[in-house]
Amino acid sequence: MNDVLRLEAVGKTYGKGGPAPVEVLRGLDLTVARGEVVALVAPSGAGKSTLLHIAGLLDTPDAGRVILNGRDMTGLPDKPRTEARRRELGFVYQFHHLLPEFSAAENIVLPQLANGISQRDAAARAADLLGRVGLSHRADHRPAQLSGGEQQRVAFCRALANAPSLLLADEPTGNLDPETSDRVFDMLMALVRDTGLSALIATHNHGLAARMDRVIGLNAVA
Ligand SMILES: Nc1ncnc2c1ncn2[C@@H]1O[C@H](COP(=O)(O)OP(=O)(O)OP(=O)(O)O)[C@@H](O)[C@H]1O
């Protein structure tokens, strides 16, 4: 079981059976091996978000299978899918989506408490992660008090809070200026490598994609 994620012949059509169906994915095969960082490069509208939602168990394909850590997740009820999402997956988006009323550290502690980790262990992990991205001195600041790059670094730490096996990221540095994007991306890669995480990272940036282990292109179906 060396693949963390395996998508087999995945298909997705929005509005199937309706007057204006939109076929987005057809017969898509994709694997992410343990410890591998894969870039997903796709033109706008090709179905990158759809694919990440399916891989992230937030949406279901209407054909094919989604296998996460050797377990076929296709057709499972919501409860085990939600559980797997909370324990095995980490998410980073273009915008940080941090909780504004909580500090950087609290934003990393809260998802751990939801998974039954003790306050003490959660706080220690948050401190460790913030240290790895050079933000120990910002632990008690709220998101609005942080720069865009700092907010995104906290979002990376939050995604890793529960030690997932797979990170799914949608344009994780797309909201930052090119120089900050490069620096913050380096930190994300260091975090991923240090923790032995696997990742599927969608980006329009070919320079960033070239720094990952493998690049997968996604073309529009129609
Ligand atoms: N709920 C929906 N109903 C109908 N069509 C949809 C729905 N969601 C997405 N689509 C269509 O599916 C296609 C793929 O959308 P998706 O958001 O996956 O693309 P994307 O590659 O992430 O694009 P971008 O880079 O612009 O975010 C688009 O043509 C979009 O209009």
Q: What separation in Å is there between the alpha carbon of 5 and the centre of ligand 1?
A: 22
Ligand 1 pocket test, candidate residues 41, 49, 205, most atoms within 8 A of CB: 49
Residue 22 inside a domain? The answer is yes
pTM above 0.90, yes or no: yes
Residue with tokens 């460790």: 128
Atom 17 (ligand 1): residue with closest C-alpha? 49
Residue 56 inside a domain? The answer is yes
Q: Strand 37-41 relative to strand 22-33: parallel, antiparallel, unpaired?
A: unpaired
Q: What ipTM, to 2 d.p.?
A: 0.94
Residue 114 inside a domain? The answer is no
d(CA 132, CA 183): 14
Residue 34 inside a domain? The answer is yes
Residue 201 inside a domain? The answer is yes
Residue 170 inside a domain? The answer is yes
Average pLDDT of the chain, as a whole number: 93
pLDDT of residue 88: 95
pLDDT band at 178 (very low <50, low <70, confident <90, very high): confident
pLDDT of residue 29: 95
Q: Which tokens hold the place of 160?
A: 């890793």
User: Which residues form the pocket of ligand 1, taking CB atoms under 6 Å from any ligand atom?
Assistant: 14-15, 22, 24, 42, 44-50
Question: Residue 66's domain is classified under what CATH number?
Answer: 3.40.50.300
Residue 68 inside a domain? The answer is yes
pLDDT in tens, 197-220: 999 999 988 888 999 999 999 877
Residue 38 inside a domain? The answer is yes
Write the secondary structure of 117-169 as one string of H (helix), E (strand) and C (coil). CCHHHHHHHHHHHHHHCCCHHHCCCCHHHCCHHHHHHHHHHHHHCCCCCEEEE
Q: What separation in Å is there between the alpha carbon of 13 and the centre of ligand 1?
A: 10
Q: What separation in Å is there between the alpha carbon of 45 and the centre of ligand 1?
A: 5
Domain that holds residue 15: 3-100+144-217
Number of domains in the chain: 1
pLDDT in tens, 5-34: 999 999 999 998 899 999 999 999 999 999
Ligand 1 pocket test, candidate residues 10, 12, 14, 62, most atoms within 8 A of CB: 14
